[in-house]
């Protein structure tokens, strides 16, 4: 037989769980799968600057894409071949911009100075916007 006291304790426990629950939500996971040599390191420098703003709100996993583990992860997400950079946010490599276009965080970011003009379709600003969305921050006004 349930008592009034037992009911109130259960009710209070549920209230605390609902009140505190969102603060314990899982952090988004950002994966950097990248080659470890110079042009790639240089291209990732602005990405790392953006990530520095989110260090306490995201979990970062880095893999050398040329290692056995990196190749396995690349294959698991459906990609193959010589890809210097792949960025994943919660396992997704694509992001829908406010204008409706979709970019994939694959290859170098679109920027001047990439080797042989190897530019992807994404920018560091796209990556920042995707991180903002992942942590629940409002989009920056245009």
Residue 46 belongs to domain with CATH number: 3.40.30.10
- The pLDDT assigned to 121 comes to 85
- The pLDDT assigned to 21 comes to 47
In a domain, 9, yes or no: no
In a domain, 61, yes or no: yes
How far from chain centre, in Å, is Cα 39?
Answer: 22
pTM score, whole prediction:
0.78
In a domain, 93, yes or no: yes
In a domain, 104, yes or no: yes
- The pLDDT assigned to 137 comes to 87
Question: What is the rounded CA–CA span in Å between residue 9 and residue 40?
Answer: 56
In a domain, 32, yes or no: yes
Task: Quickly tell me which residue has 């560091």 as its tokens.
Answer: 124
- The pLDDT assigned to 119 comes to 73
In a domain, 140, yes or no: no
Which domain, by its residues, includes 91? 26-135
Considering only CA atoms, which of 55, 63, 24 is closest in space to residue 131?
A: 55
Contact criterion met (CB below 8 Å) for 109 and 96: no
- What does the angle CA 133 – CA 83 – CA 132 come to, to the nearest 5 degrees? 10
pLDDT tens, residue order, the chain (142 aa): 467 665 555 555 555 445 444 444 689 999 999 999 888 998 899 999 999 999 999 999 999 999 999 999 999 999 999 899 999 999 999 999 999 999 999 999 987 666 666 677 899 999 999 999 999 988 776 6
The tokens for 124 are 């560091």
Domain count, the chain: 1
In a domain, 15, yes or no: no
Contact criterion met (CB below 8 Å) for 121 and 103: yes
In a domain, 81, yes or no: yes
């Amino acid at each position: 037989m349930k008592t009034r006291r037992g009911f109130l304790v259960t009710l209070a426990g549920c209230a605390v769980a609902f009140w505190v629950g969102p603060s314990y939500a899982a952090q988004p996971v950002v994966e950097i799968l990248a080659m470890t040599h110079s042009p790639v390191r240089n291209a990732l420098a602005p990405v790392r600057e953006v990530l520095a703003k989110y260090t306490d709100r995201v979990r970062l996993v880095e893999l050398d894409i040329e290692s056995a583990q990196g190749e396995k992860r690349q294959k698991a997400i459906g990609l193959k071949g010589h890809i210097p950079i792949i960025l994943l946010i919660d396992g997704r490599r694509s992001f829908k911009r406010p204008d409706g276009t979709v970019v994939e965080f694959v290859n170098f970011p679109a920027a001047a100075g990439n080797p042989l003009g190897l530019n992807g379709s994404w920018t560091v600003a796209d990556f920042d916007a995707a991180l903002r969305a992942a942590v629940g921050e409002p989009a920056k006004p245009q």
